[in-house]
Amino acid sequence: MKVLVVGSGGREHALCWAIAASPLCEKLWCAPGNAGIAQDAECVAIGAEDLDGIVAFAREHAVDLVVVGPEGPLVLGLVDRLNDAGIRAFGPSAAAARLEGSKGFMKDLCAAHGIPTAAYGRFTDAAAAKAFVRERGAPIVVKADGLAAGKGVVVAESVAEAEAAIDDALVANRFGDAGAELVVEEFLEGEEASYFALVDGKTVLPLASAQDHKRVGDGDTGPNTGGMGAYSPAPVMTPEMEARVLDEIVHPLVAAMTEAGCPFKGVVFAGLMIGESGPKLIEINVRFGDPECQTLMMRLRSDLLPALVASADGALAHLDLRWHPETALCVVMAANGYPGDYAKGTEIRGLDAAASDDVTVFHAGTKREAERILATGGRVLGVTALGASVAEAQARAYAAVDRIDWPDGFCRRDIGWRAVARETAGG
């Protein structure tokens, strides 16, 4: 098969790495890719949201499958455009991608179908949003309705902080159109986890769980980011809890989308809060997470490519996937200053020394200039390790991090801390 992956981040490197290993893959491209992806695929200079360019390339090269990595082109309708051109694509239609493209749409769907989630309100008027906050009190969560690159969520510890977040979005227009409407919702207590499943419009094929670390600093401090690290599986997602997530959230969600006239195909990424009463849905993403995807691909023993094709073709019913029992843990290395202003073009050395049989360094924001690897983004590398326990995977990942020579980068030093503490306590 000839395959084109769309995107340029660590998620896309992990997908290319897995697809390139498939005996079914005879040719692999990535648009636009990065320096690490270039080791597994031929990179082509087409932007992820250049829908015309991607469709034209897929036609010209008789691509058999286009795998769309990021949410942006999905929300813009890339899969629809490809399907209209007779090209098979992995991912949801624009109508189905509203699950991520509009938090309000997702919340309304949950409310209509009894899917457990936080109580909420939708607002385009700052005064009304502030009145809701004052009525509810703090802590409380303020979210931009649209896509905001992982930075449109504020967990406000006080009413004043929530009101400032409302003004940022609705008055100062910080997030542009993405923040023209807000979802304000109750703060949920518990432990966060992520759950992934492939869907073909009808059938749900469970994948695995993970736990992300959104805050920039150790101990979950500082502002939210796109993700500073993750590990899989998440111990809080016991077999019993996984069954509840599938029965109470994923299956009803898929059925609701079909009922709404926009059947879902692709990957469902459920962001969850596991509390005393069970799982509640925080958000739905319509693509693999980054950096969760890196951990999932490290653990996957089966060939990924047939599963992606089956999702696109509506043929998941008889498919099964095998997983390594080990833990995979990913440490994100970011440019100094991220998620604020950061320098670009700094050189990274020691990448070959960091890799081993148990460690893969996935690239996110990188480019190659001659023999030099340069940082081009905020989140730059995903150092991912396998281990028999979370602690072992963590130790291997940080040993690899320490072999990378990049004085202009940093990372959290506590990825997986909850699970390591649980292991240490023997629970």
Residues 355/400, Cβ–Cβ less than 8 Å:
yes
- Whole-number mean pLDDT of the chain? 95
Q: Indicate whether 422 pLDDT > 90.
A: no
CATH number for position 195: 3.30.470.20
401 and 342 housed in the same domain: yes
342 and 307 housed in the same domain: no
Q: Indicate whether 149 pLDDT > 90.
A: no
CATH number for position 142: 3.30.1490.20
234 and 308 housed in the same domain: yes
In this structure, is residue 117 part of a structural domain? no
210 and 303 housed in the same domain: yes
Omega cis (within 30) before 32: yes
In this structure, is residue 259 part of a structural domain? yes
Q: Structure pTM?
A: 0.94
Residues 6+ apart with CB under 8 A from 214: 150, 220, 224, 225, 227, 228
201 and 162 housed in the same domain: no
What pLDDT does 427 receive? 57
287 and 388 housed in the same domain: no
In this structure, is residue 102 part of a structural domain? no
CATH number for position 338: 3.90.600.10
Question: Containing H/E element for 362?
Answer: strand 359-363
Q: Which residues pair with 205 in a beta bridge?
A: 198
Instruction: Encode pLDDT of 37-65 as tens digits.
Output: 999 999 999 999 999 999 999 999 999 99
Measured CA distances, 235 to 5, 158, 238, 422 (Å): 31, 31, 6, 8
Domain span at residue 51? 2-93
The DSSP code for 64 is S
In this structure, is residue 233 part of a structural domain? yes
Examine the fold and report which residue of 286, 313, 340 is the final residue of a domain before the chain moves on. 313
Dist CA 18 CA 40 (whole Å) = 9
If one counts the domains in the chain, the total is: 4
Residue 401 main-chain phi, psi, to 5 deg:
-55, -45
Where residue 374 falls among pLDDT bands split at 50, 70, 90?
Answer: very high
In this structure, is residue 101 part of a structural domain? no
Residues 3/32, Cβ–Cβ less than 8 Å:
no
Examine the fold and report which residue of 278, 313, 348 is the final residue of a domain before the chain moves on. 313
Strand order in the sheet with 182-186: 120-123, 182-186, 140-144, 153-156
What pLDDT does 153 receive? 86
State the average pLDDT over residues 270-297.
96
Instruction: Encode pLDDT of 181-229 as tens digits.
Output: 999 999 999 999 999 999 999 999 999 999 999 999 999 999 888 899 9
Question: Containing H/E element for 121?
Answer: strand 120-123
In this structure, is residue 100 part of a structural domain? no
